[in-house]
Structure 1
């Protein structure tokens, strides 16, 4: 189907783009997520004790995302079919990657929570309001340490090695340039140990991942002991 205007932006969700339905984006809102605050109010003390950053970073609730689109079609029956198709496309899946054209190189992990459609008979259009519940951070599509120069962002990205040859003991410092800690996938050719923040982690041969081993925001110095190759695979997350 051809349209009398150029559709510039929208989003892709479970393999379908809003352009496929001729949806023209009119408004997008992505407010910052609310923080999960943990405070203790002590009598006769000014202010409160704030334990929200006990783990070294701020913790957030899921965030709402909302979009308003218009679809123009003078055919009433066609608009009714579009309404049914849109609701079934968006409301069936659970949490899935949501690729917003505004956030190039990133995606949201989101679930559609509502599709509100108004049929404007006089104008021959549908006004579509779509809402999502999303993980608070948008995730990079490319892993850290990638060498795709055309996609490198000098303000947000960091050029660093993520694969190393270990012969005995090796000191490295991985930088997490994101807004929250992340759990890397570690791939080693032989069993090794990693000492980080005065804790020793045993890394089995092959590919492994553990919630107890996290790369905190900023620098992550560590000492690796073993013989062979080790690779860290992780993706930056931004607020």
Structure 2
């Protein structure tokens, strides 16, 4: 199996997904946009993983590689490549599919529950409630023809699926304590006190370990679902 990763910033990596890739002994390749990597051919890629990042999908003037990334993703979707988009990655899928991406009513940073919804039997089913890790200030409308998978108290659309090969997650199921520790120093200006859906750096640095076991298990289930189709 060949897995290709689109990475936007050095401090947002695969997290626990790296363990799953090692376990299945898959070939792993990267496009690191922050290092000016060139996008590959889609030929032979079985799963495309699009990671998060602090930029907006609208920031093409500052990050011109977003233009090429959107074109590449559009081709991947047309070719029916399996795609997993995480946070910024999910917003990229949404915009490429014609949906609007815009500022959310509240930033969500920290551990807050998402609620899975009933889906078609062919679709991936998230738990009725799951305490997930979030770090986002924008959200999306659902792409035409997609199925909503989850919502939260502050955000109607937290996850969606298109067909059986494309899943977008606005939250982070791949997070580990190390991956959170890497993000906080780069983005701690967003940790504004007394906001309803923003936790403190101290809370983020001291997440109970069982939180990671639960979300990482869900991530592995999603990866297995996408690569079994």
TM-score (normalizing by structure 1): 0.22
Structure 1 or 2, whichever has the larger Rg, is: 1
